[in-house]
Amino acid sequence: MAKQHGLTLIEMLIAISILSGIIMLAGTGYSQYVTDFNKRDQRFYADLSAFQLRSAWQDQLGAAFHYLYQAGTDNYVPLFVGEKNGVLWASTRSIYKGDQPVFAWIGLQNKKLVYCEQLINDITALDTKVLQAQLCSKNKIELEHVEELSLRYYSWPGLYDRFEVVSDNLAIPADKAPRWFESVNAKDTKILPQWVVLKLKNGEDSTEIWVWLENLDLQRFLYFSGSTNA
C-alpha cells in the first residue's frame, strides 16, 4: 500500500479553522485599532479647534481700542463694559472678517463660554444696554463648557488719575493707583483696563486666562476726545 503525502481532509479542516480564528481575531483587533485611532484623531482636531478659538478670542480682546461714542448728553467716551460674568468691547479685528473693526462680547450663557461679534459699520444705533443681545443674535460661537465664570480687571481708577500721576512723576497715592476691579465701565473711568483676567471653573478644576490690552494709545485718545490740543 502506497504512503499518503500531504494533509488529510480532517487536518485541512482543522488548519482552516485555526487560520479562520486567527484572521477573525486579527480583523477584530485591527477594527478596534482603527476605531480608537479615529477617536484619538477626532479628539486631537477638537482640541486643536478649541485651542485656535481660544487664541482667536484672546487676540480679539487684546485688540480692544478706544472706540468713542456719545453716551446721552455726555461727551464722547470709550466703549468698554466689563462685568463679573461678561465683557463688551470694540476690537480692531474680527474673527470672521479679519482686520475689520467689530463690537464683541464674551461671557457665560447656559454654562457655555460664548463669543459674539458684529462689524462696527453694521451697527446703526449704539446702545450698550442692548448691544450684547444684538451681537449674539448675529454671530455667536459656543467656545467651551464652563460651569462658572468670573472676570476681574486691572485698571487705573480713571484716565486723569493716570496722567496726573505720570505728569507729576511722584509716588502714586493709594486712591489713584491702578488696582483690581470686579467691574469697569469706560463711560465712567474714561480709560480701558490694562489687564483682563477670566477664571473658568468646571467642578474642582479652574483655569485663569490673562489678556493684555495692547492698543492703549492714550495720547491719541486724549487728542480725539478733545482733552488736549497737543
Phi, psi of 225 (to 5 degrees): -85, -5
Give the closest residue to 219 by CA, choosing from 186, 196, 191. 191
Is 80 exceeded by the pLDDT of residue 140? yes
Q: Give the separation between CA 88 and CA 105, rounded to whole angstroms.
A: 4
Band (4; pLDDT cuts 50, 70, 90): low
Q: Which of 95-104, 136-145, 177-186 has the highest mean pLDDT?
A: 177-186
Answer yes or no: are the C-beta atoms of 68 and 78 closer than 8 Å: yes
Residue 27's pLDDT is what?
73
Is 50 exceeded by the pLDDT of residue 194? yes
Report which secondary-structure segment, H or E, holds 10. Answer: helix 9-62
Q: Is the dihedral of CA 177, 178, 180, 186 positive or negative?
A: positive
- Across the range 176-198, mean pLDDT stands at 92
Residue 201's pLDDT is what?
94
